């Protein structure tokens, strides 16, 4: 069959409409960029909260437990977690190891990252890739210290919408930026 300009245009429009319809169905069932952005914002607010509870003499360990249970898929999926300030025990594949990192305790190198405290977390996203129920997002986040200084950290999050509809972190890698020596 010979493709005429009119037939070609009709085919292109039909394919474009089918692709748009398939994309909207996938987006309705899967993760969306606003969900990814909200999870990151809420995660940062949770880190600030842990430090504030610690500073006020409250139960910061419970605040950290709630934060980890709310944002990470421990107990539901394997979690790949490489915290910023971990060098000896670099990877935190269990809830207890994550807890130690955030508030100190179980591992010798952990002094409690989240109890610093920080007053804000600011995000600069390099980009996000969303495919169905999973997303990868990376960029920089900046932890505002009580003295007004910011600590810049590079992050990559893998996020998954679980069968129960909750959105959780399944991969978290963060590190301090490279400093040429």
Q: For residues 73-100, give the mean pLDDT.
A: 90
Report the SS3 class of residue 90: coil
Would residue 19 count as lying in a domain? no
Q: How does pLDDT run across 118-152, given as a tens digit for each residue? A: 999 999 999 999 999 999 999 999 999 999 999 99
8-23: burial string, b at 16+ Cβ within 10 Å, e else? eeeeeeeeeeeeeeee
Would residue 44 count as lying in a domain? yes
Would residue 137 count as lying in a domain? yes
146-151: long-range contacts (C-beta < 8 A, 24 or more apart)? 146/116, 146/117, 146/118, 146/119, 150/122
**CATH code for position 90:** 3.10.450.50
Would residue 3 count as lying in a domain? no
> pLDDT tier at 4 (50, 70, 90 boundaries)?
very low
Residue 69 scores a pLDDT above 90 = yes
Domain tally, the chain? 1
Residue 175 scores a pLDDT above 70 = yes
Domain containing residue 170: 29-175
Would residue 147 count as lying in a domain? yes
């Amino acid at each position: 069959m010979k493709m005429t300009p009119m037939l070609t245009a009709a085919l292109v429009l039909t394919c474009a409409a089918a692709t748009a319809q398939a994309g909207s169905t996938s987006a309705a069932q899967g993760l969306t960029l606003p969900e990814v952005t909200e999870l990151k914002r809420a995660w940062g607010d949770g880190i600030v909260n842990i430090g504030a509870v610690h500073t006020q003499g409250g139960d910061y360990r419970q605040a950290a437990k709630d934060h980890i249970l709310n944002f990470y898929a421990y107990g539901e999926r394997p979690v790949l977690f490489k915290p910023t300030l971990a060098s000896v025990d670099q990877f935190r594949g269990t809830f207890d190891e994550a807890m130690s990192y955030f508030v100190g305790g179980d591992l010798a190198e952990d002094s409690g990252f989240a109890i610093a405290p920080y007053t804000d977390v600011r995000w600069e996203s390099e980009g996000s890739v969303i495919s169905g129920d999973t997303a990868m997002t990376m960029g920089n986040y900046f932890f505002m210290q009580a003295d007004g200084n910011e600590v810049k950290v590079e992050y990559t999050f893998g996020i998954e919408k679980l069968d129960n509809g909750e959105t959780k972190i399944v991969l978290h890698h963060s590190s301090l930026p490279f400093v040429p020596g």
